[in-house]
Amino acid sequence: MKRIQTILDAIARGEEFCIYECPEGYQYLLEVIEKCTEYNQLNPLTQGEEQIKLLKGLFKKTGDFLMVTPPFHCTVGGTIEVGENFECSYNVTMQDLGGIKIGDNVMIGPDVSINTSGHALEWERRIEGWSYANPITIGDNVFIGAGSVLCAGVKKGLHIGNNVTIGAGSVVTKDIPDNVLAAGNPCRVIRKLGGE
């Protein structure tokens, strides 16, 4: 991760970054793509231990139990932290340049996209390669329904509280409080849920 440290430092300061100004960082991102490709080609029945070892080496932190159904894609890997009892269905993408922290007992449905980064809004800066990234945090005991999209904002990250259910197909761009069912595009609180 040292090769992308310049980018990560800019993100930590809340600044935009330009991937074209960091060729060694771009090379690192290509190597992460290669690791994800390797993971996705392993057979879960006969090569499950190899898959877990690869993920535990790719992620910054994991709990003891970790189940990620291929295919899975991420940008950096080393900025992803997952808690105990993490279950992730197939075809999940984590654009994790801004950092993704996921609590305990979290389940992510198929075709979910978690996006900490985006491109500059002005087309002139965008074609020059300028981007931004902000963190996404997901609390404990959260279920994210199939096909949902989570996006950090240009100026701030995104926080999903504890004991939350996100309905399938939701587009989440604003923080979600604890103990709620939230759904829709844009995602909004539907009702409170019991539990602490």
Q: What is the CATH number of the domain that holds 160?
A: 2.160.10.10
DSSP output for 158-187: EEE-SS-EEPTT-EE-S-B-SSEEEETTTT
Distance, CA of 156 to CA of 185 (rounded, Å):
19
Report whether pLDDT(44) > 80.
Answer: yes
Report whether pLDDT(99) > 60.
Answer: yes
Report whether pLDDT(194) > 90.
Answer: no
pLDDT of residue 155: 87
pLDDT of residue 30: 92
Report whether pLDDT(196) > 60.
Answer: no
H-helix or E-strand spanning residue 44: helix 44-58
Average pLDDT, the chain: 94
Annotated active-site positions, please?
119
Count of domains observed in the chain? 1
**What average pLDDT does range 142-154 have in this prediction?**
96
Give the confidence band of 178 by pLDDT, cuts at 50, 70, 90. very high
Report whether pLDDT(24) > 90.
Answer: no
**What average pLDDT does range 156-170 have in this prediction?**
97
Q: Does residue 74 or residue 155 have the better pLDDT?
A: 74
**What average pLDDT does range 143-148 have in this prediction?**
98
Distance, CA of 63 to CA of 164 (rounded, Å):
20
pTM above 0.75, yes or no: yes
Report whether pLDDT(195) > 80.
Answer: no
Dihedral through CA 117, CA 14, CA 31, CA 91, nearest 10?
Answer: -20
Determine the structural domain holding residue 7 and report its residue range: 2-192
